Structure 1
Amino acid sequence: MKEKDVMQPNSKNGIPNGNNVKNSGRPTSSQSNNDHQNDVSVKGELTYEDKVVQKIIGIALEEIDGLLTVDGGFFSNVKDKLVNNDDVRAGINTEVGKKQVAVDMDIVAEYGTDIEDIFEQMKKVITREVKEMTHLEVIEVNVNVVDVKTREEYENDSETVQDKVKSAADTTGDFASRKTNDAKRAMNQGRHKMDEKREPRVE
């Protein structure tokens, strides 16, 4: 009988015992436990800037039908509409805590749509996207409808505003843009001062 045909001692049914089995490379249970303990022992904190959450919300709102714009002073970027502001965060105000988020915004809705349904869709997509990306809980979404417009009226107004801004920029260079930014900054600062007086809504 050839040597390789001889069964190894201490084996049953031809299955080699544990002493003859090479390590498969998989971590043992003791190794896994040690790795887990090492992970837990690493201290640190994950936080998000307001602008990050605002951008997540701004992009999420692009899928809402009937929402013409989030009003940020001019026409903001919602879906593939005519715009003069490519910052998706414009007009979106957030209060971001370590665990929770509160959202405030003004919108223009399309005439003839169910605005209550738009609001429900907004809450749903905002909550979903913020939760999936940050694990923060959206506890409040406040939407103020500042206007309703037909699609044609909205596009005409957008073109008019764009033409005015372009004309001013061509005539005065960056002066008009700087003044616009200064005005927005002043409005935001005033809003922030008012917000500081309020009790925080989020944890």
Structure 2
Amino acid sequence: MENKTNNSTTTTQQISGELTFADKVIQKIIGLALADIDGLLTIDGGFFSNIAEKLVNTNDVTTGIHTEVGTKQVAVDMDIVVEFGKDVRKIYDEVKKIISSEVSEMTHLEVIEVNVNVVDIKSQEQYQEESETVQDKVSGAASSTGRYLSKQTNKATKKAKNEVQSRTEPRVE
């Protein structure tokens, strides 16, 4: 068996194009990356966003993150709520580090500015209480109502059964 080699050369064509990122993509990278920072309770989306989050459960990690995305650089602005008793400067430094690292790693864009405005400080308990949405409350109320109705139905069924039984038994011997 004879080995044949192909000595033809292939020419690589120059392909032109451009890679761009929508603001929403960078915001999502940032929102997902910041999810586990100790002491960062939430990124505040402002009045209307907060009202919407009070009404229904939302998983929009981009809320409250504002970006300006260029061809090579990114600037970020956000309002945050931090946990009472935590080192706010340390939280800010960690936010900057994570944003810069994640955005650079995924997009090769340079983060040149991260502006963070602390709009509130809350205890963990206060934050949890305030995070309960109307949807959560309605679901809880519906569940409680369902349990109550089930108990009442069982009571009524037992009572009706006893009445039927007492009416079918002879009254005299």
TM-score normalised to the size of structure 2?
Answer: 0.68
Give unpaired runs (5+ residues) of structure 1: 1-19, 78-82, 168-203
Give unpaired runs (5+ residues) of structure 2: 139-173
- 2:33 and 2:52 map into 1 onto residues whose CA distance is 14
- 1:22 and 1:62 map into 2 onto residues whose CA distance is 58
| SS of match in other structure, 1:63 | coil
- Corresponding residue of 2:61: 88
User: 2:134 aligned to 148, 163, 179, which one?
Assistant: 163
- Corresponding residue of 2:103: 130
- 1:158 and 1:87 map into 2 onto residues whose CA distance is 14
- Corresponding residue of 1:72: 45
Higher relative contact order (CA 8 A, sep 6+): 2
- Corresponding residue of 2:93: 120
- 1:105 and 1:84 map into 2 onto residues whose CA distance is 21
- Corresponding residue of 1:51: 24
- Corresponding residue of 2:112: 139
- 1:75 and 1:153 map into 2 onto residues whose CA distance is 17
User: 1:62 aligned to 11, 35, 45, which one?
Assistant: 35
- 2:73 and 2:136 map into 1 onto residues whose CA distance is 38
Q: What is the percent sequence identity of the aligned residues?
A: 57
Residues 1:103 and 2:76 aligned together: yes
4+ aligned runs moved over 6 Å, structure 1: 164-167
Aligned residues: 132
